[in-house]
Amino acid sequence: MNLSVKDAARMLSVSEKTIYRWIKQDIVPVYKVHESYRFNRAELLDWATARRRGVAGDAFNEPETHHQPLPSVSEALETGGVFYRVEGKTREEVLADAVSHLRVPEDIDLDHLTQMLITREQLTPTAIGSGIAIPHPRSPGLLNLLRPTLTLCFLEKPVDFHALDGQAVSILFLVIAPNLRSHLHLLSRLSFVLHNQTFRDRLRNEESREKIFASLSDAESLIKTD
């Protein structure tokens, strides 16, 4: 699923000139195909999320013909749940404990899922700055899931996730999706709502589930879907 420079600019809400500048500076993941630049949608979203760059609210809207409706962030979080005092002194220990809280089918090998998340972190850290990380498998669709889930974990103690801003992570959003489409949809919307100051304040203060869901609903209502 390749994107042109024009598509990438629209997705990241920047000018094409900016995209070309990033290409020249070798700071954005890009491929050259027959003298034209092309972007992988998943890689570009990962890149944008890691740098806390906003993306267009409708960047990943797709026709829903022959597909199940995509969930909102609130719906995915209702499915995945919110957990406090997740333990671990290292990135690996934290991910293992977080995975143990996941609401996934019993036939899913949690040890294998944990290793998938660790491998993803080793390739490209998912910490986006300000103490937040968004762990997710590099290849969604390998797990036997019926619907995407989003799980919020507050860590007992901040842990180094190799964030670009150097800040230790105390908040995890685990994205576990059955396919690339729902994976990108959730990452896109999560990236959008994390720019909402009220929502971020609720997270930073580790407030109640009720307050977190209320502010999340308000933040997500601002996403344009037309």
Catalytic residues: 136
User: For residue 101, which amino acid is it?
Assistant: H
Instruction: Provide the CA 226 distance to its chain's centre, in angstroms.
Output: 22
- Give strand ranges (E) for the chain: 2-3, 31-33, 36-40, 82-86, 127-129, 132-133, 149-159, 169-176
CA dist 163 and 143 (Å) reads 27
Cα–Cα dist 130/128, whole Å: 7
Cα–Cα distance measured from residue 92 to residue 37, given in angstroms and rounded to the nearest whole number: 36
| Cα 221-63-182 angle, rounded to 5 deg | 65
> 3-class DSSP state for residue 3?
strand
